[in-house]
Amino acid sequence: MNLQVINDYAPSIGVVHDAPFDNLTFNLADLLPGTLTFAATLDYLTKCVAQPSVAAVMTTREVFDQYVQTSSAGTRTIGIALTPRPREEFFRFHNWLCQQTEFYHRPNRSERGTNCRIGSLASIDDHNVVLGNNVVIEDFVRINANTTIGDDAVIGAGTIVGSDGFQVLALPSREILKVTHAGGVRIGKNVEIFSNSAVARHIFNDDTTIGDDSKIDNLVYVAHAVKLGRRCRIAANAMIGGSALIGDDVWIGPSASISSEVVVKNGANITLGSVVTRTVEANERVTGNFAVPHDRFIRFIKTIR
């Protein structure tokens, strides 16, 4: 689809450079090829142009003029659409694409492998749900469209897979804009999700993913667009915020919270009740609210006891 189609949504948006795009996102850490995104500052627009996967950007006239004045002659040309409210119009355009076009349409591919055990009180969408072999779906589970579940996975009673995520915008007009979720969920092989958990589907044309051999306890929430690696262990009542990137072999303790768009690298250990708001390095152990390296936290606690 070409950026010029944005004028079918809003003729007032000025397209400076047309360009084809295939995906939308606002997270530069998790880009798909041919992405349309938005930038409200010069620094962010510069970062967008530097990403080969970014095909087009919605930004303001002021930011674009600053960029033209400061950028080098060798900078590549990408699609540019101008609006006074790039963040708002980006999400409104996304909603329009969902509701008025086939941009996010996925061909129906519904399959069930051999030896699946599905509870009589489970509910599985009849559109685009793929189950591998030996999958167990317990009673009161809800599996929504655009979900793939790998071999030998177990989905515990009361769990919801593919629900809407919580992406809402509070606008200056006092309107609360709900963002449509168009993506899916991909659960790997030998994953186990215990009872009464929820995994939200991706906002855009991608999947929230849970890697092979990961184990998720009761009452865990995995938000939209999360990428969870292999062999992770997520304890009860933990929350992983939207677009967080979690590496392999990560431990997330009971009632821990991972903020949106945070990166947790391979082998990290998030102790119980921690609130993580920054990158956690590989094999780092963090504790506290806000979480800091565990040893540093313990030293501090000893000084106040």
CA angle at 97 for the pair 95 and 98, rounded to the nearest 5°? 65
Q: How far apart are CA 191 and CA 159, in angstroms?
A: 13
- CA distance readout (Å), 147 to 2, 119, 128: 28, 18, 7
Q: How far apart are CA 50 and CA 45, in angstroms?
A: 9
Pairing of strands 79-82, 14-17: antiparallel
Identify the residue whose tokens are 């793929």: 130
Per DSSP, the three-state class of 185 is strand
Q: Which tokens is 3 given?
A: 């950026």
Q: How far apart are CA 153 and CA 178, in angstroms?
A: 32
Q: Helices 61-70 & 42-50, crossing angle to 10 degrees?
A: 60
Structural contact between residues 216 and 192, judged by C-beta atoms closer than 8 angstroms: yes
Upper half-sphere CA count for residue 122 (Cβ side, 13 Å): 25
Q: Which residues are catalytic?
A: 224
Q: Which tokens is 213 given?
A: 């051999």
Structural contact between residues 146 and 185, judged by C-beta atoms closer than 8 angstroms: yes
